[in-house]
Amino acid sequence: MDSITALLEGFATAAQPAYLLYALLGVTLGTAVGVLPGIGPAMTVALLLPLTYTLDPTAALIIFAGIYYGGMYGGSTTSILLNTPGESASIVTALEGNKMARAGRGAAALATAAIGSFVAGTIATVLLTLLAPTIADIAVTLGPADYVALMVVAFTTVAALLGSSPVRGLASLGLGLFIGLIGTDTLSGQQRFTLGVSTLADGIDVVVVAVGVFAVGEALYVASRLRHGPIEVIPVGGKWMTREFWARSWKPWLRGTFIGFPIGTVPAGGADVSTFVSYAAEKKLSKKPEEFGHGAIEGVAGPEAANNAAAAGVLVPLLTLGLPTTATAAVIVAAFQSYGIQPGPLLFTNNSAMVWALIASLYIGNVMLLVLNLPLVKMWVKVLQIPRPYLYAGILLFAALGTYAVNFVVDDLIVLLIIGVAGFFMRRHGYPVAPLVVGLILGPMAEEQVRRTLQISEGSLSALVTSPFAAVAYSVLVVLLAVAVVVRVRRKKAETLV
Amino acid sequence: MISGKISAKVEEYVFGGLVAAIGVFTLLDATTIAARADNAVGPRAFPYAVGVLLVATGVAAIIATARGKLGQAEEGEDVAVDSRTDWVTVGKLVAVLIAHLVLIDLVGWPVAATVLFFGAAWTLGAVWWRALPIAVALALVVQVVFASGLGLSLPAGIFEGVPFLDG
């Protein structure tokens, strides 16, 4: 087994003291931004991009991977202890976990979330280790038309299938694709949509866009409707190390893992879908379904595991195909590109040492996260209580700093402000921001692959669909769309009946 | 409440119209991109597709609004969904951001950052005598970390030549 030797070498690299520190930094930051409302992993990675140019790529990517995993852990603490809906991936946790905390069983809810995340994260990382090299081997044989097909699938699912309004999702995708077009065309050297402004000739930096929509847009939006008054954190109560705790948790953890990982791997859902599926499964399998809605521990254990397994699953298409299916994954692709590395099938041959050190650091990061989120959970409760004026002022300050640090020009801050205001209005009117970021990063890659396909076929459009792999991908997409339409219609019927 | 609904609808029309307008701009401006005539897939093809997508989705959003299907405002831990939009606060924050970007080249990053943090915290309801020292400390710490640790230096402005602050 080549990959096992490679993984052991990866561990040898990732276990060096310096890299361990970078991993610790990443997971700590990740948990903090996961706990805090208003900032998420996507924005944090984007903000740190300019600051990590001086690090070697392996160190930077270990930090980013830590932030990515850490954000998933931190989110659950918030949704269990704050009585308000949190980021979409952990809403289901809020349903049961919040009820448990109110009933004085907060410790058990936090523990099942943290241990479940650890179990799922570790198993899913093992699956990633086993699957990724094989998929990369297959992916090497894919041609440009196949990549176009994969990207079309990713675009459609991210924009149209997730979220409540397909039209607004697609509009957001379109805006992202448009921003991606601004600048100098790589193939012909022509300037496009620059309006003759020299700052725009190099294109708009991904960091500026991501920080604009996530940080500035979010801060303005929250400010417009800030919840005033004290922050109500439910005190952590109860014991968790009971026989009942383990007996009721371990099966949902495993089921959540095997529901979440595949959903994360295929570009068709990301973390949110997996938590809903897991929740529904646990409710159906439970011997006491009447407890659901009143603080059933299975309803925390399963979705939390699914959430983390899906996050690891997202790394499979990211590392082997260079295909991001969530906003955070898209920003990580941008991070790879800033180091001149293109994630994709060749990553495992060209940057083998780096990618295995990264995977090894995921195992290490999971152990660190378990410690950070189980015995040290009280620390995060304090973080949760940061007064909101300072929190959002800090977000704006670091957003401006991160943007300015990209090129040290004030023009970027003007672009940041414009994109931030756009992000504000998008949030007000239900336009999801994730498709914009995915479109921005995948758009230029998609254009290049389309043009390569058509150059090879001498302009014949049929080349885009005649490759067997592409044909299969488009058929799967059609089936997915059909299923989505059916589900939507049924849900509407159910709603009108109620 | 009713006036709030009407203004939300107007905003939705404007946003949908803007999306469509960017689409029209994309289509028109794409025709001016220089491309060789013999080249089947030049730098224009993809912009045309993006333009069509933007026009189509913008128009669809306008139609959906007309039919009464408004977008759902995003939820969040710190968002009180039922409360009215506080436009004054949003306006002040935008003004603070503009002040920040204007001040960087005039008086340097530390002062501009102090203005940004203090202005934003104060706008959002912090007590001024607590927000001000925090803002000053934060700006100076970041300035020192950048100047000494990261090898990237932020413009020191009025602190030019001061040890630790000017990298």
Q: What DSSP string describes A289-316?
A: GGGTTS--THHHHHHHHHHHHHHHHHHH
Query: Does residue B93 sit in the same domain as residue B54?
Result: no
Least confident of A35-44, A110-119, B32-41: B32-41
A407 burial class (0-12, 13-18, 19+ CB within 10 angstroms)? middle
In a domain, B160, yes or no: yes
- Tell whether A346 is within 8 A of chain B (Cβ): no
Residues of B in contact with A394 (CB under 8 A): 117, 138
Q: Which of B84, B97, B134 to mutate to test the interface with A (most CBs of A within 10 A)?
A: B97
Is residue B3 very low, low, confident or very high in pLDDT (cuts 50, 70, 90)?
low
Whole-model pTM? 0.90
ipTM attached to this prediction = 0.93
Interface of B with A in 51-70 (CB under 8 A): 53-54, 57-58, 60-61, 64, 69-70
Higher pLDDT, A352 or B116: B116
Q: Which tokens hold the place of B11? A: 């905003």
Q: Give tens-digit pLDDT for B4-58.
A: 667 888 989 999 999 999 999 999 988 888 776 555 577 888 899 999 999 999 9
- Contact status of B99 with chain A (Cβ, < 8 Å): no
Whether residue B91 is found in the same domain as residue B154: yes
User: In this structure, how many other beta carbons lie within 10 angstroms of the beta carbon of residue B150?
Assistant: 17
Burial degree of A264 (CB within 10 A; 0-12, 13-18, 19+): buried
- Give the best residue of A162, A193, A228, A411 to mutate against chain B (max B CB count within 10 A): A193
Statement to judge: residues B62 and B92 lie in one domain: no
* Cross-strand partners of A183: A192
Which chain A residues touch B46 with a CB distance below 8 Å? 181, 446-447, 450-451
State whether B79 and A221 contact (CB < 8 Å).
yes
- pLDDT attached to residue A90: 52
- Minimal Cβ distance to B124: which of A165, A188, A226: A226
Contact assessment for residue B58 and residue B17, using Cβ atoms and an 8 Å cutoff: yes
Q: How far is CA A270 from the centre of its chain?
A: 7
Q: Which residue has the tokens 């790394």?
A: A315
pLDDT at A276: 83
Asked if A400 lies within 8 A of B100 by C-beta distance, the reply is yes
Does residue A149 sit in helix, strand or coil? helix
In this predicted structure, the answer to whether residue A1 has a pLDDT above a threshold of 60 is no
Residue B131 lies in domain: 87-165
> Given B66, B95, B110, which residue is the final one in a domain?
B66
Contacts of A465 (CB under 8 A, 6+ apart): A145, A149, A471, A474
Is residue B9 domain-resident?
A: yes
How far, in Å, CA of B135 to CA of B151, rounded?
23
Is residue A457's pLDDT more than 90? no
Same domain, B58 and B122: no
Phi then psi for residue B79, to 5 deg, are -100, 125
Structure tokens at A125: 């990382």
* Comparison of pLDDT for A244 and A369, the residue scoring more: A369
Task: State the pLDDT at residue B2.
Answer: 47
- Asked if the Cβ–Cβ distance from A429 to B11 is below 8 Å, we say yes
Asked if B110 and B62 sit in the same domain, the reply is no
Rounded Cα gap, residues A365 and B1, in angstroms: 49
Contact: B94, A451; criterion CB under 8 Å: no
Print the SS3 string covering B106-128. HHCHHHHHHHHHHHHHHHCCCCH
User: Is B71 inside a domain boundary?
Assistant: no
CB A321 within 8 A of CB A344: yes
Are the beta carbons of A428 and B73 separated by less than 8 Å?
Answer: yes
**Structural domain includes residue B54:** yes
pLDDT at A498: 46
Q: String of b and e for A213-235 (b: at least 16 CB within 10 Å)? A: bbbbbbbbbbbbbbbeeeeebbe
In this structure, the answer to whether residues B101 and B131 fall within a common structural domain is yes
Q: How many domains is chain B built from?
A: 2
On whether residue B104 sits in a domain, the answer given is yes
Cα of A413 to nearest chain B Cα, Å: 6
Residues A214-237: tens digit of each pLDDT: 899 999 999 998 877 777 788 888
Question: Could you tell me if B9 and B56 lie in one domain?
Answer: yes
* B73 inside domain: no
Backbone angles phi, psi at B41, to 5 degrees: -120, 80
CA neighbor of A226 nearest in space, from B120, B72, B14, B8: B120
Token readout for B19 is: 């999306």
Do B145 and B111 lie in a common domain? yes
Our CA-based measurement puts residue A41 at a distance from the nearest CA of chain B, in whole angstroms, of 16
CB contact under 8 A, B94 and A421: yes
Q: Which residues contact A356 (CB under 8 A, 6 or more apart)?
A: A6, A7, A9, A10, A13
Determine the residue of chain A that is closest to B44 in CA distance: A192
Residue A436 has pLDDT above 60, yes or no: yes
